A and B are shown apart, each in its own frame.
Chain A
Amino acid sequence: MMDTASKPFLRTDAASFGRTEGGGPNVSSFTLDNGLDVVVIPDHRVPVVTHMIWYRNGSADDPIGQSGIAHFLEHLMFKGTEKHPAGEFSKVVSALGGQENAFTSFDYTAYFQRVAREHLRTMMEFEADRMTKLLLEEAVVGPERDVVLEERRMRVETDPSSQLSEAMAAALFVHHPYGIPIIGWMHEIETLSRENALDYYRRFYTPENAILVVAGDVTPDEVLRLAKDTYGRIEPRGERPVRFRPRDPDPVAARHITVSDPKVEQPTLQRLYLVPSCRTAKERDCYALELLAEVIGGGPTSYLYRKLVLERGIAVNAGAWYMSSSMDETRFCVYAVPSEGVTLQALEEAVDEVLKTVPEALDSDSIERAKTRLVAETIYSTDSQSALARIYGSALAIGETIEDVHRWPGEIEAVVKDDLASAAERYLVLRRSVTGYLQKSAS
Chain B
Amino acid sequence: MTASVEIRAASPTSVKTLVSPGGIEAWHVESDVVPLIAVAFTFEGGSAHDPEDRPGVAQMLARLLDEGAGQYNSDAFQERLAGRAIELSFNAGNDAIGGSLKTLVKHADEAFELMRLALAEPRFDQDAIERVRAQTIAGLRYQQNDPGVMATRRFFEEGFAGHPYGRPTSGTPESVAMITRDDLVAMHRTMITRGRIKIAVVGAISADRLSGLLDKVFGSLPEAQPLPFIEPTSLKQIGSRFVVDLDVPQSVIRFGTQGIAWREPDFIPAYVLNHILGGGAFTSRLFQEVREKRGLAYSVGTSLVSYRSAAMTWGYTATKNERVAECLDVISQEISRLTTDGPSDEELQKAKDYLIGSYALGFDTSTKIAHTMVQIAFEGLGIDYIGRRNALVGAVTQADISKAAERLFGDGRMLTVIAGRPTGL
- Please give the residue numbers on chain A whose beta carbons come within 8 Å of chain B beta carbons, in ascending order: 9, 20, 22, 43-48, 78, 87, 90-91, 94-100, 114-118, 142-151, 153-154, 157-159, 161, 217, 262-266, 268, 299-301, 306, 309-310, 316-317, 337, 339-340, 368-369, 372-373, 375-377, 379-380, 382-386
Residues of B participating in the A interface, judged by any CB pair closer than 8 Å: 7-11, 13, 31, 33-36, 38, 74-75, 78-79, 82-85, 87, 102, 104, 131, 134-135, 137-139, 141-142, 144-147, 246-250, 252, 280-283, 288, 291-299, 318-320, 350, 353-361, 363-367, 420
* B104 in contact with A154 (CB, 8 Å): no
A299 contacts B141, C-beta separation under 8 Å? no
B282 near A301 with CB under 8 A, answer no
Q: In whole angstroms, how far apart are the Cα atoms of A117 and B10 in the complex?
A: 10
Q: Known interface pairs A154-B298, A340-B134. Does A46 touch B353 (Cβ–Cβ under 8 Å)?
A: no
CB neighbours (8 Å) of B104 from chain A are 376, 379
Partner of A9, one of B10, B79, B142, B288: B142
**Complex Cα spacing A368 to B288, Å:** 52
A90–B291 Cα gap in the complex (Å)?
Answer: 14
- Give 25 A-B contacts (CB < 8 Å), ordered by A residue: A22-B34, A44-B11, A44-B33, A48-B7, A48-B360, A90-B281, A94-B354, A114-B361, A143-B292, A143-B295, A147-B298, A148-B298, A154-B318, A158-B147, A300-B78, A301-B79, A301-B82, A316-B135, A372-B82, A372-B85, A373-B85, A383-B36, A383-B366, A384-B364, A386-B364
Docked Cα-Cα span, A253 to B85, in Å, equals 39
Q: Which residues on the B side are within 8 Å of A309 (C-beta)?
A: 131
Measured between beta carbons, the chain B residues less than 8 angstroms from A339 are: 134
Q: Given A94-B282, A94-B283, A383-B36, A48–B361 Cβ distance below 8 Å? A: yes
> Which A residues touch B291, using CB under 8 A?
147
Given contacts A217-B10, A368-B83, 11 further A-B contacts (CB under 8 A): A44-B11, A46-B11, A46-B13, A90-B281, A100-B282, A145-B295, A150-B318, A157-B248, A157-B250, A301-B75, A340-B138
Are B31 and A369 in contact, CB atoms less than 8 angstroms apart?
no
Q: Is the CB of A265 within 8 A of B135?
A: no
> In the docked arrangement, what's the CA distance between A115 and B9, Å?
14
Closest to B248 in A: A158
Residues of A within 8 A of B356 (CB): 97
B86 to chain A, nearest CB (A): 9
A47 and B10 contact, CB distance less than 8 A: yes
**Complex Cα gap A158–B252 (Å):** 10
Q: Are A150 and B297 in contact (CB-based, < 8 A)?
A: yes
Query: Closest approach, in angstroms, between the C-beta of A98 and any C-beta of chain B?
Result: 7
Q: Answer whether A98 and B360 are a contact pair too, CB < 8 Å, given A340-B134, A372-B83.
A: no
Chain A neighbourhood of B247, CB < 8 A: 262-263
Q: Which residues of A contact B246 (CB under 8 A)?
A: 263
* Most A C-beta atoms less than 10 A away, residue of B75, B84, B146, B358: B358
Cα distance A316–B38 in the bound complex, in angstroms? 30
